[in-house]
Amino acid sequence: MDLLTALVDKGLRRELPSREEALAVLATSDDDLLDVVAAAGRVRRQWFGRRVKLNYLVNLKSGLCPEDCSYCSQRLGSQAGILKYTWLKPGEAAAAASAGVAGGAKRVCLVASGRGPTDRDVDRVSETIAAIKDQNEGVEVCACLGLLSGGQADRLRAAGADAYNHNLNTSEGTYGSITTTHTYADRVDTVQQAQAAGLSACSGLIAGMGESDEDLVDVVFGLRELDPDSVPVNFLIPFEGTPLAKEWNLTPQRCLRILAMVRFVCPDVEVRLAGGREVHLRTMQPLALHLVNSIFLGDYLTSEGQAGQADLDMIADAGFEVEGADTVTLPAHRGSGMCGTGEGACGGEDACHDEADAGTVPAVDAGAVPAARTDLVAVRRRGAGTDLPPNA
């Protein structure tokens, strides 16, 4: 396909594709899917070889969030039967983190529900970072605490945080239909605060919330413009008890097309396969490794993932290798350290916002969306906040 040849050439040169080309990737047929994966895989291998970076989530404070993000099981008014607990003690969080590191994780992501941290919360997280790094030499620590206020990013950096995660999630045009208690601009501002403090910026998206192809391209081009170092791609986990519980509109094939589009737009950043991969990619997860160079190991914040050993087996069976702690993740041209400008963990770009000519985009041939697999949505009942050992 001329489209894929052009996209590979651009990806190898780190050149931004057009919006029309990005939309065309999402509109390719299932018959062309393996060609799309192979093309994006060439770009992935150019910048990351066959390495897969492992990341491990520690949910420091679960549930009881005052924000109304429709996709979230921890949101205001959520009826999802998730674990709810207040702040883990630094020692408890460090023990959970160590389990992930022992399983092969290179980065530990510390997450807390809420609009944003208080200064006391920053103190707590700073103590937790110190405890984790004391027990795990060389581990990367990424904080994800919500919207930041003045000076908090600098304090986290001084405490030893390497990165900060704050996802854009969806396009600016549709953001208000997903969340009303804060804005898209608030999220952009927090990512920029993290970058200004020298933290590696991590920012990504959630697919499967009922958005259009144009929305997906908008948010990925928005990420390119922000230029984070890593871009987590989440696929909606439709928890019962949340407003989006009935949004089952992803197929494994569509997920792969989305990942390929992100790789073409963000060729040299850490593209991370994040929440929902087990639910929506299912047995096609190994194909995604040809598109992404990073995954989460084990469980997520409020849901269970596949067994940590199964993740390791999948990587080996697909012919990839776990990235070592002494390997720099990002290509040298993105700067020294684990990532690029600011050492990120998410995504980055120089967006071009020219409108595509809809008449030149191929028609979607996605087939029927399969029946909802609610049996694959499992609430986390082990690890942080419980007496059971974590999955790592």
Q: Give yes or no: 142 in active site.
A: yes
Instruction: Grade residue 358 by pLDDT with cuts at 50, 70 and 90.
Output: very low
Q: Exposed, middle or buried by CB within 10 Å (0-12, 13-18, 19+), for 55? A: buried
Q: Give yes or no: 255 in active site.
A: no
Q: Give yes or no: 272 in active site.
A: yes
* pLDDT reported for residue 70: 85
| CA 118/CA 50 separation, integer angstroms | 41
367 pLDDT exceeds 80?
Answer: no
126 pLDDT exceeds 90?
Answer: yes
**Residue range 33-53, pLDDT digits in tens:** 999 999 999 999 999 999 999
Q: Give yes or no: 346 in active site.
A: no
Of 91-105, 255-269, 302-316, 356-370, the least confident: 356-370
115 pLDDT exceeds 50?
Answer: yes
**Residue range 56-113, pLDDT digits in tens:** 999 999 878 888 888 877 777 777 777 788 899 999 999 999 999 999 999 999 999 8
Residue reference for tokens 């986990």: 237
| CA 209/CA 150 separation, integer angstroms | 32
Higher-pLDDT residue of 392 and 102 is 102
Q: Give yes or no: 65 in active site.
A: yes
Higher-pLDDT residue of 351 and 321 is 321
Residues in binding site: 65, 69, 72, 109, 142, 202, 272
The catalytic position among 144, 202, 266, 339 is: 202
What type of residue sits at position 374?
T
348 pLDDT exceeds 60?
Answer: no
**Residue range 160-219, pLDDT digits in tens:** 999 999 999 999 999 999 899 999 999 999 999 999 999 999 999 999 999 999 999 999
Higher-pLDDT residue of 376 and 170 is 170
Decide if 141 contacts 133 (C-beta within 8 A). Answer: yes
Residues in binding site for [4Fe-4S] cluster: 65, 69, 72
Higher-pLDDT residue of 241 and 315 is 315
Residues in binding site for [2Fe-2S] cluster: 109, 142, 202, 272
Which helix (H) or strand (E) segment holds residue 311: the answer is: helix 308-317
pLDDT, mean of residues 224-234: 97
| CA 251/CA 253 separation, integer angstroms | 5
The catalytic position among 109, 255, 339, 346 is: 109
365 pLDDT exceeds 90?
Answer: no
* pLDDT reported for residue 152: 98
The catalytic position among 19, 44, 65, 257 is: 65
Q: What is the DSSP letter of 231?
A: E
328 pLDDT exceeds 80?
Answer: yes
The catalytic position among 69, 144, 266, 339 is: 69
The catalytic position among 142, 144, 255, 339 is: 142
The domain defined by 2-376 folds into TIM Barrel (3.20.20)
The catalytic position among 72, 144, 255, 266 is: 72
Mean pLDDT of the chain: 88
Complete DSSP assignment for 89-124: PHHHHHHHHHHHHHTT-SEEEEEE-SSS--HHHHHH
Q: Give yes or no: 266 in active site.
A: no
Greatest extent of the chain over all pairs of C-alpha atoms, in Å? 58
Q: Give yes or no: 282 in active site.
A: no
